[in-house]
Amino acid sequence: MFPVEESVISSAIIERGSKFLVDLVKSDVIIVGAGPSGLVAGRYIAKTGLKTCIIERRLSFGGGIGGGGMLFPRIVVQEPAQEILEEVGVKLEPYSKGVWIADVAETIAKLAAGAIDSGARILLGANVEDLIVRNSRVCGVVVQWSAVTSAGLHVDPLAFESRAVIDCTGHNAEVVAIAARKNPELGIRVLGEHSMDAVRAEKEVVELTGEVLPGLWVAGMAAAAVRGGPRMGPIFGGMLLSGKKVAELVSRELEVL
């Protein structure tokens, strides 16, 4: 095996890791959250050629996919959203008319690979804790390493600019909640998700996907949380279609569609 000394390992990581981060300080689109909606949005936006970065606070992607339903390692997906999984090579098992079953590990891996292969970059272990807001427009995010946040250290964050920010943070709609808390004059509120109604929720999560403030978009469960839609549990068609819809809306807004 080729002998690689510690100094080479360290300098390679510091040098190329810094280059990666410098490149992220200005993007076309920043997506917060690498769950199903964020990964799908990232794939379709990056495919248009827009410079796309997904920021995820954990050291892994997939969000709520991994937990399946009560930790059973399967998720349900319905027509027509199964096509989004088929496109990235997820093997689907038919269950009943219009309903398919997918393995959670395979879904996570292939959605993430789909986003990365389309050109989206994923920054793991980084927490979005604030937004850049200029003249009532969201112009980027403020980021801190999750480890620093967990340790409660007082360390100033860094800011990453973008032409659009998409909140794909799931049930707490964290980015919109931050915008609401820190900028009450913008008049945005997070209504909170309602109790379960899977049929309605799946339809509404797609309908509720869209722009909530100039420069700030919401998709996935965060859209339901912001606008008071119901929850749906471990059925994922709505998440996938919401990610695809926000990608189309943002790409059109940024004039690449």
- The footprint of ligand 48F (CB under 6 A) covers 32-38, 55-58, 63-65, 127-128, 168-170, 174, 220-222, 232, 234, 236, 239
| Identity of the residue, 15 or 207, whose beta carbon is nearer to ligand 48F in the bound complex | 207
233: left (phi over 0), alpha (psi -120 to 50) or beta: left
Residue 48 Cβ vs ligand 48F, minimum distance, rounded to whole Å: 20
Nearer to ligand 48F, 3 or 248 (CB): 248
Residue 150 CB, nearest distance to ligand 48F (Å)? 12
Of the two residues 28 and 160, which places its CB atom closer to ligand 48F in the complex? 160
Tokens representing 2 are 């080729």
Q: What is the DSSP string of 200-213?
A: HHHHHHHHT-EEEE
Q: Which is nearer to ligand 48F, 50 or 128 (CB)?
A: 128
Segment holding 127, helix H or strand E: strand 126-134
157/234 with CB nearer ligand 48F: 234
Of 243, 11, 246, 252, residue with least CA distance to 111: 243
Nearer Cβ to ligand 48F (32/133) = 32
The CA distance from 67 to 97, in Å, is 25
Question: Smallest distance from the beta carbon of 101 to ligand 48F, in angstroms?
Answer: 14
- Residue 146 tokens read as 């999750």
Residue with tokens 């292969």: 117
- Cα distance between the two ends of the chain: 49
Shortest spacing between CB 35 and ligand 48F, in angstroms = 2
Least distance between ligand 48F and beta carbon 65 (Å): 6
The sign of the CA dihedral 21, 116, 138, 141 is: negative
Q: How far is the CB of 70 from ligand 48F (least distance, A)?
A: 12
Residue 62: CB minimum distance to ligand 48F, A: 7
Nearer to ligand 48F, 11 or 216 (CB): 216
Angle at 180 between CA 235 and CA 24, to 5 degrees: 75
Which residues touch 146 (CB under 8 Å, ≥6 apart)? 57, 58, 125, 126, 127
